[in-house]
Amino acid sequence: MPTAVLVHHAQEALLLVVVVSLPALAVAALVGLVVAALQAASQIQDATLAYLPRLLAVIVALALVGPWMGGAIAAFARNMFMAAG
């Protein structure tokens, strides 16, 4: 395979990583922001309080978006195997 094709496939892989990880990161950031605002408003400064809501929100987001994520990764892998063979 020519080097230009390999570089293009690597760029596609990196873009796929960003796109696939974005929903979970966005949910974690939003929930973290809401919990931080609630902590600031209620003056409860417990460091462990932010982890459980964020963890549960990310689990729910992964359960909802997981099939799409798996499909995108499988389609990319299928395209890479077809391009290699």
CA distance 1 to 7: 10
Task: Quote the pLDDT of residue 84.
Answer: 83
The gap from C-alpha 69 to its chain's centroid, in whole angstroms, comes to 9
The label of the residue with tokens 């929903």 reads 23
Contact 34, 57 (CB under 8 A): no
Task: Answer yes or no: is pLDDT of 61 > 90.
Answer: yes
Q: For 11-44, write each residue's pLDDT tens digit.
A: 999 999 999 999 999 999 999 999 989 988 988 8
Q: What's the half-sphere exposure (Cβ side, CA atoms, 13 Å) at 61?
A: 18
Q: For 66-80, write each residue's pLDDT tens digit.
A: 999 999 999 999 999
Q: What's the half-sphere exposure (Cβ side, CA atoms, 13 Å) at 13?
A: 10
What value does the mean pLDDT of the chain take?
92
Tell me the pTM.
0.81
Task: Quote the pLDDT of residue 85.
Answer: 75
